């Protein structure tokens, strides 16, 4: 697999064309729908609901307004005819002609006009019942809707001054013609609006999904091993935040892999050193070039190198297994003062051989915590070995335990060269101090302090680094007290 050069940054831009199959995006996950399609469906569904609601409300308003308009128009026409009939005078043919023209004009508009006589043998009137016709003759105005043959009609009846009346009515089918046209235009406008909303929704969906697609391509490139991938932050704040997170992830992965590479190089060197010594002495013994009187010293040297190698391998295994479910921790009541005192007895001989003064600072009363004594002893031994490595002859090493801020503290201090403020910030990062001080001062394998921090966390505590009053470094592990 070809990888991008380390000094080159790949930026995925909007106008950059890349094959989807290169990033594993050619085939979408089965049963999964793209975000763009979902957004388009949602916006279309919302638009459809809005169109449906608007249409229902608008049609109801159109129907009510149209019916009121027809009624108002019929009422005005009925008032006009009634006034014309009431104004008829015998011997005034001009007025009769004017009424005739009015009736003809109404007929052309689809209106039916009936003159209700004041009296006569035939008292039936179309649309109205005999009682309603008599009510009009009595001077009452009527308005309503009636079902007759061949269909439904809207009517207005008015009384006239001669004791009769006029009836103006119109078929509801004819009256509804303008209403149907208005409804047709409304439906057409709503459909056009729905289509436009769907198109806008699809465009918006594609625009919103495009930065996410670029981020997905970047993630696939990261999965394939590329580490110099950057996503240009675009779009809304949340999507731009995702791009920034992807950039941070890419940088973090590059840093982590570089540290792992350096760590493996350093570990390979540390493993090779004792192996080379053991192999060299073993070859000397096998070839018979080692004098018999030197065999004991050679064996001790080989044993020391083998012990160092075993310690390194054990630390590496423990560090690797810290996050595993089978990492064994046996919790019980532990008296930290006695544990630190026992560790001091073991380390006092080694310190004496190096000319280093070992002191202890123990509490006056028992200090009991719930923890794993083996792992606490492993922490103390790791910190003590780290301190002895850098402490010059004549300087002290202090093993201490105390109660501080509601926690039990186990601390190892030394009179060595100490650590800078920058060193304290990365003290428990794997091989961080090893890389800084390799060749400058005696260093270990680069895993000891990282193992201490991991063990402290698994025991429910925390590890801290600082400066010691003795002039060197101070490393402490805080453990919660029972009931704290």
Q: Based on the domain organization, do 338 and 442 belong to the same domain?
A: yes
Which residues form the domain of 308?
238-321
Structural contact between residues 47 and 217, judged by C-beta atoms closer than 8 angstroms = no
Structural domain contains residue 93: yes
Same domain, 71 and 168: yes
In the predicted structure, residue 64 carries a pLDDT above the cut 80: no
Q: What is the mean pLDDT of the segment spanning 219-231?
A: 80
Distance CA 176, CA 62 (A): 11
Sheet architecture: strand order including 142-147: 111-116, 165-171, 152-159, 142-147
* CATH, residue 293: 1.10.287.130
Residues 309 and 438 in one domain: no
- 459 and 436 in a single domain? The answer is yes
Q: Are residues 282 and 343 in the same domain?
A: no
- Whether residue 199 lies inside any domain: the answer is no
Is residue 51 over pLDDT 80? Answer: no
Identify each DSSP E strand in 130-275 by its residue range. 142-147, 152-159, 165-171, 229-231
Does the structure show a pLDDT above 70 at 200?
A: yes
Mean pLDDT of 150-160: 84
In-domain check, residue 298? yes
280 & 348 share domain: no
Question: Is position 201 within any domain?
Answer: no
Asked, for residue 285, whether it belongs to a domain, the answer is yes
Q: What local confidence, expressed as pLDDT, does residue 291 receive?
A: 81
The pairing of strands 396-404 and 462-467 is: unpaired
Q: Does 349 share its domain with 469? A: yes
Q: Where is the domain boundary, 321, 348, 370?
A: 321
Q: How many domains, the chain? A: 3
The pLDDT assigned to 76 comes to: 86
Tell me the mean pLDDT in the region 293-306: 82
Is position 47 within any domain?
no
Question: Residue 413 CB: number of other CB atoms within 10 A?
Answer: 26
248 plus 140 within the same structural domain: no
Burial classification of residue 326, based on how many CB atoms lie within 10 Å of its CB (0-12 exposed, 13-18 middle, 19 or more buried): exposed
pLDDT band at residue 477 under the 50/70/90 scheme: very high
Q: CB of 338 within 8 A of CB of 295?
A: no
Among 298, 321, 344, identify where a domain stops: 321
Please indicate, yes or no, if residue 33 is contained in any of the structural domains: no
Domain match, 315 and 394 both: no
Say if residue 61 is in the same domain as residue 122: yes
Q: Which of 16, 18, 382, 4 is CA-nearest to residue 232?
A: 16
Is the pTM higher than 0.75? The answer reads no
The average pLDDT across 352-364 equals 91
Question: Between 54 and 14, whose confidence is greater?
Answer: 54
* Percent residues over pLDDT 70 in the chain: 79
Distance between CA atoms of residues 89 and 85, nearest Å: 9
> 204 in a domain, yes or no?
no
What residues have CB less than 8 Å from 10, skipping those under 6 apart?
Answer: 4, 221, 226, 228, 229, 230
- Whether residues 244 and 375 fall in one domain: no
Same domain, 424 and 457: yes
For residue range 254-285, what is the model confidence (pLDDT) as tens digits? 877 776 776 666 566 567 767 887 888 888 88
Residue 24, pLDDT above cutoff 50: no
What is the pLDDT, as a whole number, of residue 16?
41
């Amino acid at each position: 697999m070809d990888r991008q050069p380390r000094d080159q940054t790949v930026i995925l831009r909007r106008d950059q064309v890349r094959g989807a199959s290169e990033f594993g995006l050619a085939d979408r996950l089965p049963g999964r729908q793209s975000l763009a399609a979902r957004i388009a469906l949602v916006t279309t569904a919302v638009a459809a609901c809005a169109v449906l609601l608007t249409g229902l409300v608008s049609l109801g308003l159109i129907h009510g307004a149209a019916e009121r308009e027809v009624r108002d128009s019929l009422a005005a026409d009925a008032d006009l005819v009634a006034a014309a009939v009431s104004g008829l005078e015998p011997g005034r043919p001009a007025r009769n002609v004017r009424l005739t023209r009015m009736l003809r004009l109404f007929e052309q508009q689809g209106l039916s006009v009936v003159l209700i006589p004041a009296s006569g043998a035939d008292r039936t009137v179309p649309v109205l019942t005999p009682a309603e016709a008599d009510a009009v003759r009595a001077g009452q105005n009527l308005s309503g809707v009636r079902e007759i043959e061949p269909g439904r009609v809207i009517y207005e009846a008015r009384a006239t001054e001669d004791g009769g009346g006029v009836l103006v009515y119109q078929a509801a089918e004819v009256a509804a013609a303008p209403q149907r046209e208005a409804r047709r235009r409304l439906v057409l406008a709503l459909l056009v609006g729905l289509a436009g909303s769907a198109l806008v929704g699809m465009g918006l969906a594609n625009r919103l999904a495009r930065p996410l697609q670029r981020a997905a391509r970047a993630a696939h490139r990261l999965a394939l091993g590329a580490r110099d991938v950057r996503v240009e932050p675009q779009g809304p704040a949340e999507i731009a935040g995702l791009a920034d997170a992807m950039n941070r992830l890419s940088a973090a992965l590059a840093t982590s892999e570089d540290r792992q590479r350096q760590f493996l190089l350093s570990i390979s060197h540390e493993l090779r050193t004792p192996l080379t010594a053991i192999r060299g002495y073993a070859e000397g013994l096998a070839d018979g070039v080692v004098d018999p009187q030197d065999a004991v010293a050679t064996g001790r040297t080989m044993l020391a190198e083998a012990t160092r190698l075993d310690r390194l391998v054990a630390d590496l295994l423990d560090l690797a297994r810290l996050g595993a479910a089978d990492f064994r921790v046996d919790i019980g009541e532990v008296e930290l003062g006695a544990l630190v005192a026992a560790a001091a007895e073991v380390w006092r001989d080694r310190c004496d051989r190096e000319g280093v003064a070992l002191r202890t600072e123990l509490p006056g009363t028992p200090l009991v915590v719930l923890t794993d004594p083996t792992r606490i002893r492993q922490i103390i031994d790791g910190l003590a070995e780290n301190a002895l490595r850098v402490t010059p002859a004549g300087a002290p090493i202090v093993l201490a335990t105390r109660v501080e801020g509601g926690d039990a503290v186990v601390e190892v201090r030394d009179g060595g060269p100490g650590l800078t403020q920058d060193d304290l910030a990365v003290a428990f990062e794997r091989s961080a101090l090893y890389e800084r001080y390799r060749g400058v001062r005696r260093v270990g394998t680069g895993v000891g302090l990282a193992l201490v921090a991991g063990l402290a966390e698994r025991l429910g505590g925390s590890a801290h680094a600082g400066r010691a009053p003795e002039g060197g470094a101070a490393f402490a592990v805080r453990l919660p007290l029972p009931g704290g």
